Amino acid sequence: MKVFTTLLYDNKPNVSYTSYLHEGSEEIDKDRQFPAMIICGGGAYLGISDREKEPVALHYLQAGFQVFVLDYQTEATGNAQYPNPLLDLAMLMKQIRLQGETWQIDNDKIAIIGFSAGANLCAQLATHWHNRWLAEGVGTGDNQLLKPNAVILAYPLLDFIVQEKYANLDPRIDLSLSYTDTTKRDFMHHANKVFLGKEYTENRMKEASPYYFLSGKTPPTFLWTTAQDDLVYPQQCLRYANKMMELGVPVELHLFEEGQHGLSLGTYQASGDLTLQNADVAQWQNLALRFLHRRFVEF
């Protein structure tokens, strides 16, 4: 196995990706081609959670993927305003496809997985990969280089307008969050300003909401969330999956009864905090692998 970190751009020292790669073995299959998985952890575009990076990478590495963890631009590392993080993800997708032979990757089996804000980012690529402006933004005329073959979205933010609607109905919106020194309302507002701009409008919210750009070109998608998530409201997942069904695009949705936002794998490996360990929710890992097996047949 090889593990290494690479800058995504020469002029942005904080935007990088870490590769976890199998090496061909004479005892197994020296020339085997592997599926690939790009991982985008969450963090409200303020930073990226470690819990949604390497633990997830090791899970997919063990499952037989070549894995890439993207450290896209956030408030902590660069300009996180939309569409900059999307350009980061599209650039990595392009680079992986161009290096596919070198890294022993089957270019028809490249999936992306995102958590929370990272899932918003993955859903953006899923709904915009075919747009000319995105290809031009990463220096290619070939949109097929940017297409994910499958998408996994964990507790995703998919519609900023619906998110704001349910936030305004939330009786706990003005209570302090346990992991910050701000209220939930102030936390959400700050995160929105970072991603949408200081004077964001409803049109800007819609522009950054993947829900409004779903189409027949959206790749097969697996979504999961919990009914108790009170930070990224789960109604967004239901609407997204319903619209995918209306469009005739393959979709699988799991709404788990219990569990707070940000569970990652739902296991000890991804958290030392018992509130973030949930054996029922942890089932999403195998369910998602079955979904990928149906798409990719062999891996």
Average pLDDT, the chain: 96
Pick 2-159+211-289's CATH classification: 3.40.50.1820, 1.10.3720.10, 2.40.50.100, 3.30.70.930. Answer: 3.40.50.1820
* Residue 289 pLDDT > 80: yes
For the segment 145-157, the average pLDDT, to the nearest whole number, is 99
Query: What is the tens place of the pLDDT at every residue in 227-249?
Result: 999 999 999 999 999 999 999 99
Instruction: Kindly state the tokens that stand for 238.
Output: 């239901």
CA distance 272 to 55: 12
Query: What is the tens place of the pLDDT at every residue in 161-214?
Result: 999 999 999 999 999 988 888 999 999 999 999 999 999 999 999 999 999 999
Cα 101 to chain centroid, rounded: 24
* Residue 137 pLDDT > 90: yes
CA distance 49 to 270: 10
Residue 299's pLDDT is 63
Residue 178's pLDDT is 82
Residue 80's pLDDT is 98
* Residue 102 pLDDT > 90: yes
Annotated domain spans of the chain: 2-159+211-289
Residue 31's pLDDT is 84
* Residue 294 pLDDT > 90: yes
* Residue 139 pLDDT > 90: yes
Q: Name which of 60, 62, 52, 3 is nearest 155 in CA terms.
A: 52
DSSP 236-295: HHHHHHHHHHHHT--EEEEEESS--S--TTSSGGG-S-GGG--TTGGGHHHHHHHHHHHH
Query: What is the tens place of the pLDDT at every residue in 63-85?
Result: 999 999 999 999 999 999 999 99
* Residue 276 pLDDT > 90: no
Residue 29's pLDDT is 80
* Residue 20 pLDDT > 80: yes
Greater confidence (149 vs 268) lies with: 149
